[in-house]
Chain A
């Protein structure tokens, strides 16, 4: 009796596993057939659903914007799936693993230019918005950083950076090799050194000493940085204003010489750069939020429709509500002829 039960279970399991193995061979061609016909005549359920699905991969800090976009998309009848992670990680998954992305919205154009352009995994992008870097701190560190904030508010930048890097404050930043927020923090330090002391490495050298002593720490991504800040493991960090708002973090604005937000100061920002451990040079620039349709996109039609929406006045309002600043004139870069496929 027992043996029969075990045998039956095994037969069921085997059938299930064999089914799993064989299903792509059976369902794959059917799905492709549906795909091929979807735009022409077919009205069957699977191809209809397929045409409505859209996959968006976005930088974690842009999640609120994508959530709002999802609502708009669902009103248009689309079923939206999204994945919010580090921009570099997503770009790697698209480029190296061929991950499906109908829309890709990283937090920096460099991610597209340095990772996706060389392999032609994307060939163009549209810069749709900007943001600015601010100094964030948590409730628990508010008292501790009060003096620091006073210096910043009074515009005594030399004293501010001397105090910030004195070793009294624990500073966090994303790993600059992988996280745009991280290399932008390095750029702020370099700009400060350049503008205040005439030497871009002045504050960076001190900062590197803090890294060695553990007074300044790298995190793997923005989520880890926020965890450390909110639990009081670090006192301050430089990050995006929209991220500070997203996580309800307290923040203080930086002058626009340092906050990487002002297009008029583009040349100043370009005087500094960051070289990754791989030797890739990332130039200082205004924070630019791009959007692209990578080659791994399946539903280009829906993706284009959502891009078009973002470029309308309603789309611009949506971006403002998400804490980012839409550009007056969105700019397309790369092989823009590929935009229409």
Chain B
């Protein structure tokens, strides 16, 4: 058997299992039985999608800024307690996400409550900050794990050469390692962003909807879709799911194309 045929059999199988159910939802909600263009493109849905994309993009960006140095250090150096740090970094990926929502509420009603006036809010729940924080916590492990793998796979020679010339490790990180990792960063951004967009458990507790302008009264897309399912069944949930699916796909394709161009 031609080796390409062999591997394409696997690709086909995985696509059938992973992508077909989701694409079927997209089909049913866009041109299938549950098509409802008026609902798919309604103002509420658009506001929800903008909120979802903006909050996910910000959370992913913060995850990158904070996580890349962490990932680099974990990949390049051994230190006492490294296993513990790695386990703690991975922790949010292994706990039920509603728990993360509850943790945020607990922290900001206790030890972190003095921070609320600085943020200009009375309580953390239902704020844009809570939404971004929840997304940041749930998506960070994915970002750090993918970047650790990238740094481990990267050829260390250019860094070693630069260090031997007396350039400091921090400058090497910014001048050599990061520019060499642009493609991996974009890849990591895409995966982390996709995770943030799909989050439901934590935000349904901590930011069911947003009470501050400009997103006042707006729900994040996954919460909106679930709400529509509860209040109106598949007829209301699937058209909106199809829109979110199309836009998420578009954003991911744009990120992938940018990544390929690097």
Contacts and interface: CB of A to CB of B under 8 A. Distances in A.
Interface string B184-225: 000000000000000000001100110110001000000100
Interface residues of B, number: 32
Output the residue of B122, B125, B209 with the most chain A CB within 10 A. Answer: B125
B231 A14 contact: no
Nearest to A115: B233
Nearest to A175: B227
A89 interface: yes
A278 B232 contact: yes
A10 interface: yes
B88 interface: no
A44 B122 CA distance: 63
A interface, size bucket: 20 to 34
A115 B230 CA distance: 10
B72 interface: no
Contact of A220 (B13, B212, B223, B232): B223
B234 A96 contact: yes
A274 to B, nearest CB: 12
A79 to B, nearest CB: 25
A218 interface: yes
A228 B231 contact: no
Nearest to B103: A231
B101 interface: yes
Given A92-B233, A214-B126, A228-B125, A220 B227 contact: yes
B205 A276 contact: no
A290 interface: no
A292 interface: no
Interface in A311-328: none
Interface of B: 9-10, 13, 17, 98, 101-102, 105-106, 109, 122-126, 204-205, 208-209, 211-212, 216, 223, 226-227, 229-234, 236
Interface of A: 10, 14, 17, 86, 88-89, 92, 95-97, 115, 140, 170, 175, 177-178, 212, 214, 217-221, 223-224, 227-228, 231-233, 276-278
